[in-house]
């Protein structure tokens, strides 16, 4: 990777959003910086924030490295992103409503039937059911990379249960505590409205049978889960119960929580467990995490589940290729945010090209979400490439490939001082009665020099993400 977009310096000059940060760093000697860094770490440890990006696993007590150098967007940049993200979230939900209904997009020949209906994430059990407001994915995490001043690409969509939002909130909290001056000098859009917005979103999709203020709970796989901190953090911020499967039971067409005062009816479940574990009567019979009978209650309108079971079919990596088509088909608009150009190995021509250019491409498995089964061509050994070549040849339909993008870089505190490191962005779009997006998101940074892998399990860290007010 020789050239990439530097978000702070363009040529020799500082780009506008970062203008005030240059003085800030100059006024911070190494000793002070080390002290602040230690303080930040102590704060994270104290609040007990431990975190693993969805699907990465790892030590649940691990701290993800926090870089104090913020990542900054101007209001204008953000507005553009925001429109694109909201557009995408609307299209993804329209797609889900459609494929679990008459599947017009398939009938119209815009997406192959096989890709939708034979997809492992397509849940036949929810077909023909329209959830409240027709919304399936209530929290859409859209991973975005930047390659130029005006060039943004969507890397992938997360329609199930995107994680990491607790980091977005805590990073800001800690920055404000450590550098109040910065927040006086720069006018930064707040992010702390997220929990209220999430609560509003969840309440707005309560089932029709719910005639009072809906009772909401977050369903967690339990305290051994790597994202447990986030689950309990969000439950606390929203003032709702954090429940496990065993805390709930089904009776008389409703879901009830086991409380010290007897059963309490539950209306909306923000679940942080996979479809397969929701209900042993409907999905995996060996699931110990689920609630037997939950799906019958859901389908008969007794409870809402967010995101809806089956929402995953929209964020499959093979379906991803068709999102621009969805935007045109459902919204009649042109996509505001582009996809990364993608070769589908299922197509013989694409597959041939991919196999010939493995050394320069990023290859991803289509099922599953995140990190796994990935080949970053330019950073792989000949052996790794050959292993992947065999895998792709055996099951081409399981793979897609994309060019290795020149991810933008932002200044980051490193051992030697300040140096550019590559970043991505995950904003969290809420879809309920309204579509809401807090300004910012989670910026992940590849802390190793030259690395493009921002995953926390492979040397990635996080940054506070600023959107400047006008």
Partner 1 sequence: MILTVHHVTTYEYDMPMRGAVQSLRLFPSRFDGQRTIRWDVAVEGGLRGGNFRDGAGDKVEGWSLRGPVTEVTISAVGQVETTDTAGVLRGHREIVSPFAYLRETSATWIDHALRDLAETAGLGTKDPLDRAHRLCGAVSEAIAYRPGTTHAHTTAAEALAQGEGVCQDHAQALLACARAVGMPARYVSGYLFAREDGAPHEAAHAWAEIWVETIGWIGFDPANACCPDARYIRIGSGLDAHEAAPIKGIAQGDGSERLDVTVALEAVQQ
Partner 2 sequence: MLSRTAENLFWIARYIERAETMARLLEVGARIALMPSAGHGYRSEWESLLQASGTAEGFAAKYGDPVQRNIESYLFFDRDNPSSVVSCIERARENARIVRTALTSQVWDALNGAFQEMRQLERKPRSEMELTELTEWVTRQAALVRGAIDATLLRNDGYAFLNLGFALERADNTARLIDVKYYVLLPSVDFIGSGLDNYQWQTLLRALSAHRAFHWAYGGEITAAKIAHFLILNPQSPRSLVTTVTMAMENLDALARGYQRSGAAQMRARSLVGEIAETRVEEIFDEGLHEFLTRFIRDVGELSDMVQAAYLSGEAR
Binding partner of residue 212 among partner 1, partner 2, none, CB cut-off 5 to 8 Å per kind = none
Q: Does 105 bind partner 1 (CB under 8 A)?
A: no
- Site for partner 2 (CB under 8 A): which residue of 173, 241, 325, 397? 241
Beta bridge partner(s), residue 254: 251
The Cα–Cα gap between 229 and 47 comes to: 10
- Site for partner 1 (CB under 8 A): which residue of 58, 292, 324, 373? 292
- Site for partner 2 (CB under 8 A): which residue of 262, 349, 390, 394? 262
CB of 115 vs partner 1, minimal distance in Å: 10
- Site for partner 2 (CB under 8 A): which residue of 6, 37, 74, 232? 232
Q: Does 30 bind partner 2 (CB under 8 A)?
A: no
- Site for partner 1 (CB under 8 A): which residue of 26, 46, 124, 212? 124
Left, alpha or beta for 459 (phi > 0: left; psi -120 to 50: alpha)? left
Sheet holding 304-306, edge to edge: 241-243, 216-219, 268-271, 304-306
CB closer to partner 2 out of 120 and 236 = 236
The Cα–Cα gap between 66 and 461 comes to: 6
- Site for partner 1 (CB under 8 A): which residue of 125, 210, 242, 319? 125
Least Cα distance to 111 among 203, 73, 139, 119 occurs for 119
Binding segment (CB under 8 A) for partner 2, from list 229-237, 271-279, 391-399, 462-470: 229-237
Q: Coil, strand, or helix at residue 435?
A: strand
Q: Coil, strand, or helix at residue 390?
A: helix
- Site for partner 1 (CB under 8 A): which residue of 44, 54, 69, 122? 122
Question: In this structure, what are the phi and psi dihedrals at residue 46, rounded to the nearest 5 degrees?
Answer: -65, -45
- Site for partner 2 (CB under 8 A): which residue of 169, 243, 358, 375? 243
Helix axes 348-356, 382-394, angle to 10 degrees: 170
The Cα–Cα gap between 233 and 253 comes to: 30
10 Å CB burial of residue 353 (0-12, 13-18, 19+) is middle
| Structure token pair of residue 177 | 């505590």
Q: Does 252 bind partner 2 (CB under 8 A)?
A: no
The answer to whether 255 and 307 are in contact (CB under 8 A) is: no
The answer to whether 446 and 453 are in contact (CB under 8 A) is: yes
Q: Does 173 bind partner 2 (CB under 8 A)?
A: no
| Structure token pair of residue 228 | 């447990």
Torsion of CA 395, 283, 317, 232, to 10 degrees: -140
Binding partner of residue 331 among partner 1, partner 2, none, CB cut-off 5 to 8 Å per kind = none
Q: Does 134 bind partner 1 (CB under 8 A)?
A: no
Q: Does 117 bind partner 1 (CB under 8 A)?
A: yes
Binding segment (CB under 8 A) for partner 1, from list 278-286, 354-362, 418-426, 449-457: 278-286
CB of 215 vs partner 2, minimal distance in Å: 12
- Site for partner 2 (CB under 8 A): which residue of 76, 246, 419, 469? 246
Half-sphere exposure of 174 (CA within 13 A, CB side): 28
Binding segment (CB under 8 A) for partner 1, from list 36-44, 124-132, 366-374, 386-394: 124-132
Which positions lie near partner 1, rule CB under 8 A? 100-103, 106, 113-114, 116-118, 122, 124-129, 249-254, 280-282, 285, 292-293, 295-297, 299-302
Which positions lie near partner 2, rule CB under 8 A? 46-48, 223, 228, 232-233, 235-236, 241-244, 246-247, 257-263
């Amino acid at each position: 990777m020789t050239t990439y977009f530097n978000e702070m310096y363009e040529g020799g000059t500082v780009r506008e959003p970062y203008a005030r940060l240059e003085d800030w760093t100059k006024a911070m000697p190494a000793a002070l910086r080390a002290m602040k860094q230690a303080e930040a770490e102590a704060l994270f440890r104290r609040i007990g924030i431990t975190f693993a990006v969805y699907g990465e696993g790892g030590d649940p007590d691990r701290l993800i490295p926090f870089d104090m150098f913020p990542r900054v967007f101007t209001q204008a940049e953000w507005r553009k992103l925001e429109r694109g993200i909201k557009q995408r979230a609307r299209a993804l939900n329209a797609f889900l409503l459609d494929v679990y209904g008459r599947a017009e997009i398939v009938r119209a020949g815009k997406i192959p039937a096989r890709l939708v209906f034979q997809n492992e994430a397509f849940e036949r059990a929810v077909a023909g059911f329209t959830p409240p407001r027709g919304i399936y994915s209530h929290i859409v995490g859209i991973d975005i990379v930047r390659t130029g001043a005006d060039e943004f690409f969507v890397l992938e969509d997360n329609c199930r249960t995107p994680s990491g939002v607790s980091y977005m909130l805590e990073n800001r909290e800690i920055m404000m505590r450590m550098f109040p001056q910065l927040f006086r000098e720069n006018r930064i859009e707040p992010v702390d409205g997220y929990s209220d917005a999430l609560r509003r979103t969840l309440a707005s999709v309560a089932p029709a049978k719910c005639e009072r203020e809906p009772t909401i709970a977050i369903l967690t796989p339990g305290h051994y889960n790597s994202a447990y901190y986030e689950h309990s953090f969000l439950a606390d911020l929203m003032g709702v119960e954090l429940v496990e499967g065993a805390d709930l039971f089904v009776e008389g067409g409703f879901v009830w929580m086991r409380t010290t005062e007897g059963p309490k009816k539950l209306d909306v479940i923000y679940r942080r467990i996979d479809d397969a574990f929701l209900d042993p009567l409907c999905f995996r019979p060996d699931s110990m995490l689920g609630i037997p009978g939950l799906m019958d209650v859901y389908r008969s309108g007794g409870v809402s589940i967010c995101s809806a079971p089956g929402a995953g079919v929209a964020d499959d990596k093979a379906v991803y290729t068709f999102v621009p088509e969805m935007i045109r088909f459902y919204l009649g608009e042109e996509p505001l945010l582009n996809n990364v150009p993608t070769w589908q190995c299922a197509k013989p021509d694409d597959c041939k090209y991919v196999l010939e250019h493995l050394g320069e491409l990023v290859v991803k498995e289509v099922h599953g979400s995140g990190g796994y089964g990935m080949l970053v061509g330019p950073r792989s050994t000949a052996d790794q490439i050959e292993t992947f070549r065999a895998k792709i040849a055996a099951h081409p339909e399981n793979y897609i490939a994309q060019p290795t993008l020149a991810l933008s870089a932002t200044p980051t505190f490193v051992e030697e001082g300040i140096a550019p490191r590559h970043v991505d962005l995950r904003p969290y779009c809420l879809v309920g009665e309204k579509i809401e997006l807090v300004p910012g998101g989670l910026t992940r940074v590849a802390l190793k020099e030259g690395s493009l892998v921002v995953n926390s399990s492979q040397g990635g860290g996080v940054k506070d993400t600023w959107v400047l007010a006008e």
